[in-house]
């Protein structure tokens, strides 16, 4: 499996990456999470936290999957353009069960390990609301995104509102691989935002 340079270091260092199934067909699935829990990967020295990726479907459902599209029989399907039922059907054709955010958090809510949720695509205010409501009550949860994904998922016209909402619940949204960078705060400074986008500053 090809792994992007953005996620390569994460893959090597964290057994909780993509719910413990990184590089397998079952990555980012309930099955992978359950298998990882059963095998006690959270007790291993190379486990740092549970990590998974989220998207919003065309009908404002939040689901867990890594890529922006699914290829089936040579055809690429853009996930944000599809309803959740359609996305789940595509998953079944590849013999995987694509879970919703709620299904994953139902398991993780009962655990004490740290959880990092990477925001890939949010496309509506309803989707943003569902995500924030899902994470704001649990101190173990942290959101993260790349600057580009952050700008698209939290547009300027409502960004301050969501920043305030998350700040009230002590929930952070940090930069992928640079967890000291709070993206809401950085986006308010032209200099900090330019620095956040620089890939040659890995330890910012």
Residue 54: beta bridge partners?
64, 119
Provide the 10 A C-beta neighbour count for residue 39: 12
pLDDT of residue 201: 58
Assign 59 to helix, strand or coil.
Answer: coil
> Is the full-model pTM beyond 0.85?
yes
pLDDT tens digits for 100-135? 999 999 999 999 999 999 999 999 999 999 999 999
pLDDT tens digits for 176-204? 999 999 999 999 999 999 989 887 655 54
The distance between the two most distant Cα atoms of the chain, rounded to a whole number of Å, is: 46
Average pLDDT estimate for 6-35: 82
Residues 6+ apart with CB under 8 A from 77: 69, 70, 71, 86, 90
């Amino acid at each position: 499996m090809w792994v992007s340079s953005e996620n390569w270091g994460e893959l090597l260092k964290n057994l909780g990456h993509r719910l413990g199934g990184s590089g397998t067909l079952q990555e980012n699935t309930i099955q992978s999470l359950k298998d990882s829990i059963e095998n006690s990967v959270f007790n291993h020295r190379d486990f740092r936290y549970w990590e998974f990726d989220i998207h919003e479907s065309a009908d404002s459902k939040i689901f867990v999957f890594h890529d922006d599209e699914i290829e089936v029989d040579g055809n690429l399907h853009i996930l944000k353009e599809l309803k959740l039922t359609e996305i789940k059907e595509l998953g079944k054709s590849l013999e995987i069960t694509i879970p919703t955010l709620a299904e994953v958090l139902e398991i993780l809510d009962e655990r004490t390990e740290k959880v990092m949720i990477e925001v890939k695509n949010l496309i509506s205010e309803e989707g943003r609301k569902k995500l924030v409501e899902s994470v704001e009550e649990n101190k173990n949860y942290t959101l993260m995104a790349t600057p580009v994904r952050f700008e698209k998922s939290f547009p300027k016209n409502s960004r301050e509102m969501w920043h305030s909402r998350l700040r009230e619940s002590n929930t952070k949204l940090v930069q992928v691989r640079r967890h000291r960078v709070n993206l809401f705060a950085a986006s308010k400074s032209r200099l900090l935002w330019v620095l956040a986008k620089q890939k040659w500053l890995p330890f910012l």
